[in-house]
Chains A and B, each alone.
Chain A
Amino acid sequence: MEQILANGLYLGAQYALIALGLTLIFSLMNVLNFAHGQMYVFGGFVTYTVVAQFGLPFIVGLLASAAVLAVMGGLIEKFLFRPVIRRSKREESTMLLAAGIAFFLDAVILLLFGEKQRGVPKIVNGVLNWDMRIIMPYDRILIGVLAITLIASFILFMQYSRTGRAMRALAQDRMAAQLMGVDVDRYSMIGFALGAMLAGLVGGLLVTITGINLGMGGPTSVKAFLMIMIGGAGVISGAIAGGFILGMMESVGLTLLAAYGDITYLVIFATLMVFLAIRPQGLMGKPWG
């Protein structure tokens, strides 16, 4: 049981971090960023390149992923989403744009980094073995702790910084925030950059554990959407809750349902359908903050 809980917490921490960026972008701009998974993959490849190809320390790779993805996110918002949102009132325009960016990034990743699975060496060696009740490699513990630290930092940033407060105001009521003098364009761009940066950071963190490959983007986006649907789209605490709930459900299901074949996700999806039928806005719904 302890092992199941430990696995669930570790999975939940990484999932929550993935979902945070997606829910931030959704709350600020009402955009479902289908390219979130590809941004995660791009971040992983940047860390891989810096660490494995250039031989620089892991922390440099992580910072490079954050920087590259933040710039990429900012540019995507400024030059792609902003004009489309300005010209089109139809929500599907931004969805199509996001899907197009996902395909484009897939192609760019293939061209820049190739089709192979990539990974970087373990950043910490050794395995924690607590009397055979919990077996957890130290690098997973480190990545889990880093993920939780990043989540806490993000919450503090959103809660207490001027930029965070402006973005929360924007998310609660775009028009009111504009009337109160919030530079909507600027904070939308910062928010998108921050969301993309979070995706890049998770990619960079997990490249040491799971490695990275071209095909991970789509499934990652699907899982991230699943988490924010559980927690409530656009709600930061909901994304965190959704991440941990999904992680725990996966861990419990994979252990207890293993004997019945791969039915864990079948059970998760069936549960989610029933849950959404009862509570379509997710656990925490809107407004977020």
Chain B
Amino acid sequence: MKRRHFLATTGLTLGLALTTSAAAWAENPVLKIGFVGVTSGPAAAWGISNQRSMETRAAWLNELGGVTIGDTTYDVEIVPFDDQKDPKRAIAGMEKMAQDGVHYVVGPNVDDGAAAVRPVAEQNGIMYFPYAFPKELYTPPASNAILGMVANYQSGPAIYKHLMDNSGVKKVAFVAANESDPLSQRDGGVEAAKALGLEVVSDSVTYQVDTTDFTPVLLPVIQSAPDLLVLSGVSPANAPQLIRSARELGYTGLISTETAQDATVLTEGAGELANGFISVGGASTPELASDAMREFVDRYTKMFGEYNDESNTKVYALEYILETLKANPAAIDDVEAFKSTMDTFEAPNPFMVGDAKLTYVGSTSFGQKRQVSVPLVVNEFRDGKFETLFVAQVD
């Protein structure tokens, strides 16, 4: 009798617990936001910082009760897909998003992937936020892609101009990996440098991404005696080795890149040889960061063990999606409504101090607002950490 009573009580308790948790689980409908990008291989750091930023922010918002869009409060769910930096996989990822009914996707991280997914996104009513720079993705008639960061043709000229004015740079050399992104960034950089009146002394040297010794690669570049060596589109994995080889070959001039880098990786790979290295930073500095940004960094670090400076920029895409949907709830399954809202959209920027706003920009570069507005932060590496060289706004 006692045993039967015990079983009945246990069963009832279990049933109640399951019902309660199911009710709690089903409390909010789910808003799925996709991520298609590279989370494995040499460029994994770029995509992983994206995905983790989105997951951190989504978990935080869900903990606060969800996101209210119109009359409905949603829990945000991130649907990730690793495209392995392969355009074919990126297409498969975007098709998966379409099948899952996802209308807003962050990524892909590289040029060819972003170009490859364009037809899928346009045919299936998906807005996507690539971290890729080809202008044709953002200029009419294209209208579904929104650049998630500052492009190299926006940051490059700003950096070169700063170095011309402040460091007397006259001669510049470019070196790039033999891949589509770095090569197109190099070409854009060369064009910008020439437009500013700089003498380009070397722009034909390239390297394989799996190079293990950069000495022979850099030897002819260093022999051209530039004042500034630009590592076009350099990945965080290759940057320390290139810097180290250049310094070991006796190069004493400036070194810069228009991609974001990681201070720990530079410290471990190049140590003090990386001092003075100039790169584009995540869109935040200690002076710009709000309490919300600091909390984001804390939460990210707790969730994943180590923060990535790039996430200062990559936290923004999800925020832009959610805030634009809040501004026009009809856009939740209608990307045309989203597009029409973008022109006038404005919301408080929670990650910056003062009265900074989230707005879409890009009219100057693309002829339409197809870029998120984030500050252009240019950093200088010094003794294991980044110091802000200057901050600017694009467009």
Contacts and interface: CB of A to CB of B under 8 A. Distances in A.
Nearest to B47: A115
Most buried by B among A119, A259, A261: A119
Contact of A210 (B39, B45, B207, B241): B241
A209 B43 contact: no
A77 interface: no
Interface string A188-211: 000000000000000000100111
Given A259-B204, A265-B208, A214 B44 contact: yes
A213 B217 CA distance: 20
Contacts of A271: none
B265 interface: yes
B210 A219 contact: yes
Interface in B207-222: 207-210, 212-213, 215-217, 219-220
Interface string B278-296: 0000000000000000000
Given A214-B41, A216-B210, A116 B264 contact: yes
B249 interface: yes
A92 interface: no
A129 interface: yes
Given A115-B39, A209-B212, A254-B216, A215 B268 contact: no
B216 to A, nearest CB: 4
B259 to A, nearest CB: 13
Nearest to B241: A210
B210 A220 contact: yes
B240 A119 contact: yes
A7 B220 CA distance: 13
Contact of B42 (A3, A129, A213): A213
A19 B264 CA distance: 31
Contacts of B276: none
Contact of A135 (B236, B237, B248): B248
A121 B220 contact: no
A106 B40 contact: yes
Interface string A249-262: 01100110011111
Interface string B238-256: 0011000000111000000
A135 B240 contact: no
B269 interface: yes
Contacts of B198: none
B63 interface: no
A262 B213 contact: no
A120 to B, nearest CB: 7
Given A214-B42, A214-B44, A219-B210, A116 B262 contact: yes
A2 B268 CA distance: 30
A211 B268 contact: yes
Contact of B44 (A52, A115, A258): A115
A78 interface: no
B16 to A, nearest CB: 37
Most buried by A among B205, B207, B269: B269
Contacts of A215: 40-44, 209, 237
Say whether chain A's binding surface is mostly helix, strand, loop, or mixed. helix
A214 B40 CA distance: 7
A213 B237 contact: yes
B370 to A, nearest CB: 29
B249 A209 contact: no
Contact of A122 (B45, B206, B271, B305): B271
Given A118-B268, A211-B268, A214-B44, A258 B240 contact: no
A29 interface: no
Contacts of A11: 212-213, 216
Given A11-B212, A117-B236, A215-B44, A129 B250 contact: yes
Interface string B116-139: 000000000000000000000000
Contacts of B45: 115-117
Interface in B189-235: 204-210, 212-213, 215-217, 219-220
B19 interface: no
Contacts of B215: 7, 135-136, 140
B169 interface: no
A120 B269 CA distance: 7
Contacts of A214: 40-42, 44
B178 interface: yes
Contacts of A14: 212-213
A255 B40 contact: no
Nearest to A211: B269
A284 B159 CA distance: 54
A127 interface: yes
B248 A127 contact: yes
A215 B43 CA distance: 8
A34 B40 CA distance: 18
Nearest to B249: A135
B48 interface: yes
B208 A255 contact: no
A117 B178 contact: no
Contacts of A262: 178, 206-208
A135 B250 contact: yes
A252 to B, nearest CB: 9
A214 B43 CA distance: 9
30 contacts: A7-B213, A14-B213, A52-B268, A110-B40, A114-B305, A115-B44, A115-B45, A115-B48, A118-B268, A119-B240, A119-B265, A119-B270, A120-B268, A121-B268, A122-B271, A136-B215, A140-B215, A209-B212, A210-B213, A211-B240, A213-B42, A215-B40, A215-B44, A218-B41, A219-B208, A254-B219, A255-B220, A259-B204, A259-B220, A262-B206
Given A115-B44, A211-B269, A223-B210, 18 more contacts: A116-B236, A117-B237, A117-B262, A117-B268, A119-B268, A120-B268, A121-B271, A129-B250, A209-B213, A211-B268, A214-B44, A254-B216, A254-B217, A254-B219, A255-B216, A255-B219, A258-B205, A262-B208
Q: Which 8 A-B pairs have the closest CB atoms?
A: A215-B42, A219-B210, A262-B206, A115-B44, A215-B41, A119-B269, A262-B178, A117-B237
